[in-house]
């Protein structure tokens, strides 16, 4: 990539530090609010005439993400009798049956469903698809959340079925997910609407073209891990400064939570929020200077580029 040459990095490091300084001392006139993005935010429950309520949905794989989606749908008012799950793990099945769902260790049980959600690890997908191929027929259709498994692979294994590929993320487990949906070639409006509603039950959704899913994977799919990494390092630093662990953990988590709420107000850009915290020659400016000198900004860009590259590699491996 052209813009990762050392020369480019050096120049950018200097100018970005200058722009940071500029923002700290510049006037704080808020920018106009950016145009509303085409996200769908979580709603308490779908309207009573939503076709979602009439569908039977079977989850193949009921681990972390399958369980989160089931919980989200139940919380939105989806009747438990419309949901099924198949999983070889007795522990996962026990957890799901406590929610009032029918469970099985046989994936072929999904024959009775209208929509099949594939929520197994990517390495399980070839064998799961091989099992399902002769058992599924239109008008049944499929949603896959497996990272790095492209639509072309899914469509070649399930040749007549509409397929939606989704990249959700871990905050879906607390109803605060971010899911990007890419539509396969046989997907119609009715499938798309239902798929959006399913993921809307666990957070925000956005529709993207499939090639953007590598970037989405890097940004929001893997994103929670970057935040947890930051929290871990931040907490370690707090301990070194003498705070007790309980205070350090709470101070970090509450600071993250409050800052996210400010960002969500969408009235100021991150840079403008920085200016609200930092005063000239103050403590925040001292800290930010170290972050810029140590090129943290470029480490983050490089980390996300590595994640997107790996996502592309994984997709190619399954083709």
Ligand X SMILES: NC(=O)c1ccc[n+]([C@@H]2O[C@H](COP(=O)([O-])OP(=O)(O)OC[C@H]3O[C@@H](n4cnc5c(N)ncnc54)[C@H](OP(=O)(O)O)[C@@H]3O)[C@@H](O)[C@H]2O)c1
Could you list the residues that contact ligand X (CB under 6 A)?
60-66, 86-89, 92, 107, 119-122, 124, 128, 145-147, 167-170, 221
What's the token pair of residue 284?
Answer: 């925040």
Between 181 and 248, whose beta carbon lies closer to ligand X? 181
The minimum distance between CB 79 and ligand X, in angstroms, equals: 23
CB 175 within 8 A of CB 205: no
Q: CA angle at residue 244 from 240 to 248, to 5 degrees?
A: 75
Between 227 and 287, whose beta carbon lies closer to ligand X? 227
Between 76 and 165, whose beta carbon lies closer to ligand X? 165
Count of residues for the chain?
319
The minimum distance between CB 105 and ligand X, in angstroms, equals: 8
Q: Which residues pair with 163 in a beta bridge?
A: 142
Between 82 and 220, whose beta carbon lies closer to ligand X? 220
Taking alpha carbons only, the member of 180, 177, 181 closest to residue 164 is: 181
83-86 and 102-104 strand pairing: parallel
- Of all residues in the shown chain, the one whose CB is closest to ligand X is 63
Between 217 and 292, whose beta carbon lies closer to ligand X? 217
The minimum distance between CB 87 and ligand X, in angstroms, equals: 4
Taking alpha carbons only, the member of 75, 72, 103, 71 closest to residue 87 is: 103
What's the rounded Cα separation, in Å, for the pair 268 and 135? Answer: 52
Q: Where are the alpha helices (DSSP H) in the chain?
A: 6-25, 64-75, 90-97, 125-133, 151-157, 189-200, 213-216, 223-240, 245-264, 270-277, 283-293, 296-317
The minimum distance between CB 192 and ligand X, in angstroms, equals: 19
Taking alpha carbons only, the member of 157, 165, 161, 176 closest to residue 214 is: 165
CB 160 within 8 A of CB 185: no
DSSP H or E segment with residue 118: strand 115-118
In three-state secondary structure terms, 268 is: coil
Residues with Cβ within 8 Å of 136's Cβ and at least 6 positions away in sequence, in order, are: 110, 111, 116, 142, 158, 161
The minimum distance between CB 51 and ligand X, in angstroms, equals: 25
Between 124 and 272, whose beta carbon lies closer to ligand X? 124
Between 108 and 188, whose beta carbon lies closer to ligand X? 108
The minimum distance between CB 194 and ligand X, in angstroms, equals: 19
The minimum distance between CB 59 and ligand X, in angstroms, equals: 9
Between 130 and 247, whose beta carbon lies closer to ligand X? 130
What's the rounded Cα separation, in Å, for the pair 134 and 175? Answer: 34
């Amino acid at each position: 990539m052209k813009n990762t040459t050392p020369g480019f990095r050096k120049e950018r490091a200097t100018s970005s530090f200058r722009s940071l300084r500029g923002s700290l001392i510049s006037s704080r006139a808020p920018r106009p609010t950016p145009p509303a993005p085409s996200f769908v935010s979580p709603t308490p429950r779908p309207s009573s005439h939503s076709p979602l309520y009439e569908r039977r949905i079977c989850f193949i794989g009921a681990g972390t993400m399958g369980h989160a989606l089931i919980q989200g749908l139940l919380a939105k008012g989806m009747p438990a009798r419309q949901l099924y799950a198949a999983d070889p793990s007795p522990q996962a099945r026990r957890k799901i049956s406590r929610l009032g769902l029918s469970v099985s260790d046989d994936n072929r049980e999904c024959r009775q469903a209208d929509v099949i959600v594939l929520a197994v690890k990517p390495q399980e997908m070839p064998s799961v698809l091989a099992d399902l191929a002769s058992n599924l027929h239109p008008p049944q259709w499929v949603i896959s959340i497996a990272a790095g498994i492209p639509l072309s692979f899914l469509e070649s294994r399930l040749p007549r079925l509409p397929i939606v590929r989704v990249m959700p993320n871990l905050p879906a487990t607390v109803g605060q997910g971010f899911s990007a949906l890419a539509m396969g070639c046989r997907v119609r409006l009715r499938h798309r609407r239902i798929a959006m509603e399913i993921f809307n039950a666990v957070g925000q959704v956005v529709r993207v073209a499939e090639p953007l899913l590598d970037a989405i994977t890097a940004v929001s799919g893997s994103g929670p891990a970057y935040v947890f990494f930051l929290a871990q390092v931040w907490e370690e630093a707090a301990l070194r400064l003498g705070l007790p662990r309980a205070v350090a953990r709470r101070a970090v988590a509450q600071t993250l939570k409050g800052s996210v709420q400010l960002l969500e107000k969408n009235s100021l850009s991150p840079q403008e929020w920085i200016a609200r915290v930092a005063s000239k020659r103050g403590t925040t400016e001292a800290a930010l200077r170290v972050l810029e000198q140590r090129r943290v900004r470029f480490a983050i860009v490089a980390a996300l580029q590595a994640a997107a590259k790996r996502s592309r590699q994984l997709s190619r491996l399954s083709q």
